[in-house]
Amino acid sequence: MKSTRAAVLYGPKDVRVESINIADLRPGWVLLKVKAAGICGSDLHLYKQKTPIPVSSELGEGKYVPGHELAGEVYQIGPDVTGIAKGDRVGVEPTISCGVCKWCRAGWYNLCSASRLVGFYLNGGMAEYCAVPADSCFKLPESVSFEEAAMLDCISVAEHAVRLAQVSNEDTVAVFGAGTIGLLAVKAALLAGAREVHAVGTHDFQLRAAKDFGAAGVINARTEKPVDRINELTGGNGVDKVIESVGGESSAVTDGLSVLRRRGILVMTGIYVKPVSIEPFGFLTKELVMRSAWGYENWTHIKEFAVSLDLLARGKFDVKKLITHRYPLNDAPAAFDIALNKEKSKSIKVQIVFPK
């Protein structure tokens, strides 16, 4: 097989479905017949507007095949592959790191300066066929569908953020952002033992989903002031931990820091397209901690991606209810519009799905 149909993002509001070349499989790689691939918020930033984020992939400058949230069936095996067989059902961890730098050796392969991402630098899952390292493939139990498995990246990001926030059973948590990552962070915080979690979003349908996922309080940032409302919900005490999952040009970081109690922790997962300002005196005098969460990593002896698959297989994350729209590959341009225009479409997770 020398070519495949794929959705290529050329820039803002410019997705084209066309044929692209498939290179010969390198040692240790497999070719997947893709079954499901999700549209991520980071893709939507690049689809919505010109950003400072540099775009360069194996297709060249300024364009790429999205789909780092993907799952499929192994179609072809490259040289030197062991442990994976043709026909295996797999979810794919999209980050490919060097494996030898100090960050990789420490288990923090998400920080590898040589890392590449399937679905950005390398052709992703919005294609009929996609090449990935065999080591990035995680076999799926029969109880986990391809569509559910394509949500594993999102679950892993949420799990990573909650772990970095050190959420425990003494904590009250606020999650800013009620998209896919934010909703999964609500659930992840509760699984980590949080006493209660409050969710801030901009769409009522998302906040209903947050309630369904266990949020104690929900705040619509378009009709309420998040800082005032969170203080009201917590009796003026604020929260111990904040997970931010908005990005763009939002005030979520500023608001999140404002509602933190002394020595609180804010973990930022959103991709911002302009600088974020903070109020330094309050940050200083409350001894706050603000840190970022980039992807996910090893956590002690096991990959967070594997942890997420185990949680998904055991029914801890009901992600089926978050997949609101499914489109065939040829309708990828329409799928991006639906994912972007949430007010009209009421979309949460939009996926490209392929025939069984």
pLDDT band at 69 (very low <50, low <70, confident <90, very high): very high
Q: Which domains does the chain have, with CATH numbers?
A: 3-151+317-353 (3.90.180.10), 158-292 (3.40.50.720)
Nearest CA-CA partner of 277 in 292, 297, 257: 257
255-279 burial by CB neighbour count: b if 16+ within 10 A, else e?
bbbbbbbeebbbbbbbbbbeebeee
pLDDT at 248: 79
pLDDT band at 349 (very low <50, low <70, confident <90, very high): very high
Question: Distance between CA 186 and CA 351 in Å, rounded?
Answer: 22
Q: What is the pTM of this model?
A: 0.95
Q: Which DSSP letter does residue 23 get? A: P
Question: Distance between CA 300 and CA 216 in Å, rounded?
Answer: 31
**Sequence-distant (≥ 6) Cβ neighbours of residue 215 within 8 angstroms:** 175, 186, 197, 198, 199, 207
Whether residue 94 is predicted with pLDDT greater than 90 in this model: the reply is yes
pLDDT at 285: 94
Q: What is the mean pLDDT of residues 31-54?
A: 90
**How many residues in the chain?**
356
221-279: per-residue pLDDT in tens?
999 999 999 999 999 999 999 999 998 778 999 999 999 999 999 999 988 878 888 88
Whether residue 51 is predicted with pLDDT greater than 80 in this model: the reply is no
Question: Distance between CA 301 and CA 120 in Å, rounded?
Answer: 28
pLDDT at 55: 87
Least confidently predicted of 35-39, 123-127, 301-305: 301-305
Q: Mark residue 107 as left, alpha or beta (left: phi above 0; alpha: psi -120 to 50; beta: remaining).
A: left
Question: Does an H or E element contain 201, and which?
Answer: strand 196-201
Strands 137-139 and 89-92: antiparallel
pLDDT at 53: 79
Strands 349-353 and 69-77: unpaired
Higher pLDDT, 94 or 42: 94
pLDDT band at 119 (very low <50, low <70, confident <90, very high): very high
178-230: per-residue pLDDT in tens?
999 999 999 999 999 999 999 999 999 999 999 999 999 999 999 999 999 99
* CB contact at 8 A, 295 and 160: yes
Residue position matching structure tokens 């892993």: 156
* CB contact at 8 A, 39 and 58: no
Give the long-range contacts of residues 95-102, CB within 8 A, separation 24 or more: 95/136, 95/295, 96/122, 96/133, 96/136
Nearest CA-CA partner of 156 in 91, 203, 241, 217: 91
Whether residue 107 is predicted with pLDDT greater than 80 in this model: the reply is yes
pLDDT at 290: 96
pLDDT band at 52 (very low <50, low <70, confident <90, very high): confident
303-343: per-residue pLDDT in tens?
999 999 999 999 999 999 999 999 999 999 999 999 999 98
128-185: per-residue pLDDT in tens?
999 999 999 999 999 999 999 999 999 999 999 999 999 999 999 999 999 999 999 9
Question: Distance between CA 157 and CA 176 in Å, rounded?
Answer: 15
* CB contact at 8 A, 96 and 61: no
Residue position matching structure tokens 């029914």: 315
